[in-house]
Structure 1
Amino acid sequence: MFSQYRDSDYAYIGLLGRSFGRVSNSDLLTEAEAPRDASDFLASAFRDKIAVPDPTSEDAILFAFYLVTQKYGLRYMEQFMEQNPLIVANGGVAIASTVSGRRTASLSSLAPFLPVPGQPLRYVVPRTDQFMSWPQTAAIFRKASHPAAAKLYIAWQLTVERQSTGFQWPTRRDVTPPGGRQRITEYNTSLNGFREFLRDREEVERFRALIKTFVAP
């Protein structure tokens, strides 16, 4: 288990590794054409072709944009909005818009590493940008009605067999990620970055208000 995926006192533990990468329609864009860094989305080819969840409505998407602006500055938001992106309610709608071909790429979305039959999706991590990743954590309440069943469930989620069939990254060090990916620690991502961002609620709301000046909900 990656140490960042568990509490130091084991109050909680990470069952699954997740990340927001760059997602594109594999039927409409070749691998070479698919955008990877945030700067790629500013190319003229992607005007009217981008779908993205509303970053002002969800902390996770907000943090993904926070990482982008940390690197490129707020000028990036001006340039990005000039691309006329489709701002949708959530990640599911962004993915649906990409699958349907209404849009061809999404800046910060969740998608599986391995292709899903009938869904022309390609997930990639950025070349140089830092991107968002986090563990889906679980804990057993002290007064849980069925603690033995809860322990059994968590133990099953952490087995090699279960971790080997995951959507994205495993949380165990001894399990190889699907799709030929390297271990999560080999990429430009902070495993606890999102958690640290959320701890400063004043900064979160300040940045949300700032992004609202660019993105009309």
Structure 2
Amino acid sequence: MTEQLNPSALPAALTRLLGQLVVSVQADDGSPLREVAHIVAMSRAALLGGAAGLRLRSAEDIRAVRAITGVPIIGLTKQAHPGTDVYITATPQEVHEVAAAGADIVAFDGTDLPRPHSVAELVAAAHAAGALAMADISTLAEARAAYAAGADIVGTTMSGYTPHSPQQAGPDLALMEALAAAGLPFVAEGRINSPELAAIALQTGALCVVVGSAITRPDHVTRWFAEALGIR
């Protein structure tokens, strides 16, 4: 653990997540589980299993889940915007919507992809709304830039989704180790699809671990098995 991960130096919402599991409860558009009632039910199940926090993808989902729990919520939007590949909480308006719905932490694309609004603008919007700002990054350089812009925490979420990050089947443990070595607090997220990988990610020095598809997307998990059996 780096000095920055001392609980006394962290905001309250991050302190509550230190060393814990956060479950990303999301369903793709078109999924049978996309309805808000299903998101609430899966969130309840994740909390029953021991999740200390949740990551949710829309103001509607956040509002409904906030009504049934007080755990820290990492909130975001997923919306396409013309002229950019930035997809996660790309505008200050989206930041405000997520925070107003009850998210403690607003996650946004913090990569160096061409973008409609700067990381600094999104950080400022989150702080103005009373929420923490989480930059989803794909490289060490992006993490440094996000902290320079005022981000409260970064996550390895975007590794594998940008041209300059490794395209691999598993989590980017090398990035996690580099962040830890640089003394930069981070959330481990992205392709962590087994309990063993979650434990390894936490051991790299992550503040907490976020797991999504392996827990809350049965269509994705079914596809893993079907492809392994050569039936897709």
Specify if TM > 0.5. Answer: no
Higher strand share: 1
Q: Which structure is richer in relative contact order (CA contacts within 8 A, separation 6 or more)? A: 1
TM-score when normalising by structure 2? 0.30
Higher helix share: 2
TM-score when normalising by structure 1? 0.31
